[in-house]
A and B are shown apart, each in its own frame.
Chain A
Amino acid sequence: DSGVTQTPKHLITATGQRVTLRCSPRSGDLSVYWYQQSLDQGLQFLIQYYNGEERAKGNILERFSAQQFPDLHSELNLSSLELGDSALYFCASSVEGTSPLHFGNGTRLTVT
């Protein structure tokens, strides 16, 4: 058990819809990261937050947004969903930037 909790585990929705994925980091970790894993793109870094502030951005679409709340949990919002957004979305947390990341078990999103 990594200590990182992601909900929900599975999500099935239709194109054009909006969903919110939630992540609770390990106790004491200030950094939260979001990754997207798909067969064709592999593991893609989306965005990182540190103690509530955006720290780094990766290949995150404009239709996607995230935030980290004062209690350090994070949410990833995906809107105007397309079939190609179907993927496994992972949250990870760490103490600080170069510390190892601890991953949650992911949310599997299926867009139909």
Chain B
Amino acid sequence: AQSVTQLGSHVSVSEGALVLLRCNYSSSVPPYLFWYVQYPNQGLQLLLKYTTGATLVKGINGFEAEFKKSETSFHLTKPSAHMSDAAEYFCAVIGGATNKLIFGTGTLLAVQP
């Protein structure tokens, strides 16, 4: 069965610093991978997705993620954090016959001035 593990439930960075949110996946078939962001009192919004092809995926708001099959990872990065990036970030995977989207436990990103 497919799953994702997000390392670090809370990450704090300074404004302007690199953002790195870690995600490792487990899937018996080639996975479809996603990152979603959830702002307070809102639903989840798609940041980016990996299906096939180029392993470096660019998303909205300056975020990108790299699919590394050898490391079963799909870490999310942003070169320079903004205060507005403070939110909860979820890694998710689809894999297998049912096409269920399975979420990780989330990482709460705090951005310090």
Which residues of A come within 8 Å of B, CB atoms?
2, 4, 33, 35, 42-43, 45, 48, 55-56, 58, 90, 92, 97-98, 100-106
Task: Give the interface of B toward A (CB within 8 A).
Answer: 32, 34, 36, 41-46, 49, 51, 90, 94, 98-106
**Contact in complex: B105, A42 (CB < 8 Å):** yes
A103 x B45 contact (CB < 8 A): yes
Q: Which of A42, A48, A104 contacts B43 (CB 8 A)?
A: A104
Chain A interface SS verdict (over half): strand
Q: Interface SS of chain B: helix, strand, loop or mixed? A: strand
| Chain B residues within 8 Å of A103, by CB | 36, 43-45
Contacts of B94 in A (CB 8 A): 97-98
Tell me the bound Cα distance from A58 to B3 in angstroms: 13
B-side contacts of A43, CB under 8 Å: 90, 103, 106
Residue of B nearest to A47 (CB): B100
- In the complex, are the beta carbons of A90 and B43 less than 8 A apart? yes
**Beyond A97-B99, A98-B99, A103-B44: 6 further Cβ-contacts under 8 Å?**
A2-B45, A42-B103, A43-B106, A48-B99, A100-B49, A105-B43
Q: Which of B34, B44, B100 contacts A48 (CB 8 A)?
A: B100
